[in-house]
Amino acid sequence: MSPPIHYSILSSSKLASSDYQTMPWKNGQGTTRQFIISPSTCTSVNDDFTFRLSSAQMKTQFHQQQPLEEQQTTTNSQKVPFSSFVGYSRVLIYTQCNLSQHPQQKTTHPTQMYIIQQHEEQDSSRKELIQRDYLPLMVPYYFSGSAKTECELIPSTIDEGDQEHLIIDYNVMTKDERTKCEKVVCRSVHDFDSSEEINLLQLLDLLPVTTTSSTTTEQDEEEQQIDTSNNQRKWHLFLYVPDDLDALVKVNIPKSSNHDDKSSIHILNRDDTLQLEGVGDYSQVMSQVKVTFEPFSNEQEKGGSHVIGVLIIEN
């Protein structure tokens, strides 16, 4: 009988834009760039997939600007319905807002995004509860794929000559009965010195695994603990570099963390995704994987500053 596996990276790979697929929305009202779908045999969002990472683009269709207080009481907004994914949990990140005619040029005053959900109520006197949340740039928003959801876009109070905006988001979907999205984080590369070598635990803002005493009374400390007690569970780590990042990302995986006992180095450019698949205590692995950032020297290359990390654990 084989000894228990404590931790190991089973595979690592880098995906580029040429590896992504353009797929229609489930509701047929748009398209999305699909980075990853698992299992890979799934060819459609209508298939019974376990998890999926993607990015969608939306263009605003505003023709005049109004004061913000008027915008929220008039029809000068655009609503985009989300597809229904019953049995899935979702995470949405509003990543960029650029000018449609100049996709690489960011807006000074980005379109505001709100997520509107309608929840069914148990009380028959209130059939639906409407929830409306403001979504800032680069902040993960967690919600149920079963809820009736739409995105509302409201123009900024000051705009660049009444031009259309190109809204870009990042999406994570996980099948509730088979897997869980344990962590989604947006980290600015400017949080770290360019000459500093950090590990994935630091980058993803994860705590190392510790045993919490039964007498611990700090509720916030308990909530931060991530359970990795089952050393046989498979996990998936994705590191995405948005297409406006102003730095290269270098990831060094030592042979001690790899299942095949070989070291590997991945250089991530804009729009690349690093995919790690492992088993067991991922905190042990991530504490050994080193990351460095190399800022572009050309001022014209300056762009965004965030990378996106996603940790998914199978049940």
The pLDDT score that the predictor gives to residue 209 is: 41
CATH 1.10.575 fits 51-175, yes or no: no
Would you state the structure tokens that stand for residue 196, as one six-digit string? 């500093």
Distance CA 242, CA 307 (A): 7
The pLDDT score that the predictor gives to residue 300 is: 47
The pLDDT score that the predictor gives to residue 15 is: 96
* β-pair partners for 305: none
Exposed/middle/buried for 64, CB within 10 Å: 0-12, 13-18, 19+?
exposed
Which H/E stretch holds residue 293?
Answer: strand 290-295
* β-pair partners for 248: 294
Q: What is the pTM of this model?
A: 0.83
The pLDDT score that the predictor gives to residue 68 is: 42
- CA 48 from centre of chain: 21
The pLDDT score that the predictor gives to residue 100 is: 67
Domains 7-15+178-314 and 51-175 share a fold: yes
The pLDDT score that the predictor gives to residue 4 is: 47
For the chain, domain boundaries: 7-15+178-314, 51-175
Distance CA 53, CA 88 (A): 13
CATH number for 7-15+178-314 (one of 1.20.1740, 3.90.70, 2.60.120, 3.30.70): it is 2.60.120
The pLDDT score that the predictor gives to residue 1 is: 43
Tens digit of pLDDT for each residue in 99-146?
A: 766 666 677 678 888 888 887 665 556 666 788 999 999 999 999 999
Q: What are phi and psi of 71, to 5 degrees?
A: -60, -40
The pLDDT score that the predictor gives to residue 134 is: 92
Residue 264's SS3 state is: strand
Low-confidence ranges of the chain (pLDDT < 70): 1-6, 61-76, 100-105, 108, 120-128, 157-163, 207-231, 297-303
The pLDDT score that the predictor gives to residue 135 is: 92
CA-based nearest residue to 183, from 151, 150, 207: 207
Exposed/middle/buried for 109, CB within 10 Å: 0-12, 13-18, 19+?
middle
Residue 279's SS3 state is: strand
